[in-house]
Amino acid sequence: MNKVALVTGANSGIGFEIARGLLAKGATVVLGCRDLKKGHAAREQLVSLTGNDAAEVMQVDLANLARLRNFVPKFLARFERLDWLVHNAGVWPRTRRKTEDGFELTLGVNHLGPFFLTDALLPLLVRSAPARVVVLTSSMHREGTFDFEDPQFKVRQHHGGTAYAQSKLANVLFTFALARRLEGQGVTANAVHPGVVATGLRREAPPNAREPKNPLTPEAGALGPLHLAMSPTLANITGRYFEGTEQMPASGAANDVKLQERLWALSRQLLKLPPEVPQGS
């Protein structure tokens, strides 16, 4: 297999297992990690677990646009194709903190960083068609509303759960808007809730909420994302939401096309991306 995947946050949790599954199928997998040391340690483990040494570590820090800008040309120089872009990395901070660029951390890492990365890699994805974008969201997107007046908690009191649910709703809104833009170009975009999984995601939660009841293992949590990435049955399925391997309806807010487009425009504006060229022009 000559296929290339980029998995963000592949050094731990669900991302590690997604990378493992793709490597086991013979893909070349770029482990997009913010911490290179952790990335190399994960690579060593992944190579020994899968016997596939086509795992490469590259720095992807979603909380730092300068670093993301640095990553893109390196990736484009190194790889001629991108078959899977897996937006896995995510955070759930419990206090209001900021990315290097001053964005509220939850929105910055969970949504704005992935938006920027997708925008930069989209031409390569299209050239590599058939290709797939897989976005890890959460069933918590159902509890989310997107506050366009104050998305970054500059005015309202920051609340970790509210910020996380908003960012996970943003993941689904983004996926659906992206799928629409990619229609007919051989690139699909789907979002997936991996289940409630025992990982480091809740490390900042109060002690009694740090370990959910009966969580899935990270390996089981990776089954849904791997299904979206690799199942032949999903070759032409796009703009959908899954829980594990099952397609489910996303929340009403997530399906609201006006919201999807409003978030798309806001994201481009916050990231200072040039206006989109209308399709067909």
Ligand X SMILES: NC(=O)c1ccc[n+]([C@@H]2O[C@H](COP(=O)([O-])OP(=O)(O)OC[C@H]3O[C@@H](n4cnc5c(N)ncnc54)[C@H](OP(=O)(O)O)[C@@H]3O)[C@@H](O)[C@H]2O)c1
Positions marked active-site: 164
Rg of the chain over all Cα atoms, to the nearest angstrom: 17
Distance of CA 176 to the CA centre of its chain: 13
For residue 15, state whether it binds ligand X (rule: CB under 6 A): yes
The interface with ligand X within residues 57-76 (CB under 6 A) comprises: 60-63
Q: Which strands form 187-193's sheet, in the order they lie side by side?
A: 55-59, 28-33, 4-8, 84-87, 131-136, 187-193, 241-243, 246-248
For residue 193, state whether it binds ligand X (rule: CB under 6 A): yes
Please pick, from the candidates 65, 109, 124, 134, the single residue that binds ligand X as defined by CB under 6 A. Answer: 109
Please pick, from the candidates 200, 235, 246, 269, the single residue that binds ligand X as defined by CB under 6 A. Answer: 200
Residue among 88 and 238 whose Cβ is closer to ligand X = 88
Please state, in angstroms and rounded to a whole number, the distance separating the CA atoms of residues 115 and 92.
18
CA dihedral 79, 82, 85, 89 (to 10 degrees): -10
Please pick, from the candidates 112, 197, 228, 229, the single residue that binds ligand X as defined by CB under 6 A. Answer: 197
Three-state secondary structure call for residue 60: coil
For residue 165, state whether it binds ligand X (rule: CB under 6 A): no
How many chain residues bind ligand X (CB under 6 A)? 28
Residues 6+ apart with CB under 8 A from 249: 241, 255
Tell me the sheet residues that pair with 8. Answer: 32
User: 93: how many CB neighbours lie within 10 A of its CB?
Assistant: 16
Please pick, from the candidates 3, 34, 94, 111, the single residue that binds ligand X as defined by CB under 6 A. Answer: 34
Please pick, from the candidates 86, 134, 173, 201, the single residue that binds ligand X as defined by CB under 6 A. Answer: 201
For residue 41, state whether it binds ligand X (rule: CB under 6 A): no
For residue 192, state whether it binds ligand X (rule: CB under 6 A): no
| Run of H or E residues at 132 | strand 131-136
Q: How far is the CB of 106 from ligand X (least distance, A)?
A: 10
Which structure tokens are listed for 162? Answer: 């509210």
Residue among 204 and 261 whose Cβ is closer to ligand X = 204
Which residues make up the interface to ligand X (CB under 6 A)? 8-9, 11-15, 34-35, 38, 60-63, 88-91, 109, 136, 138, 193-194, 196-197, 199-201
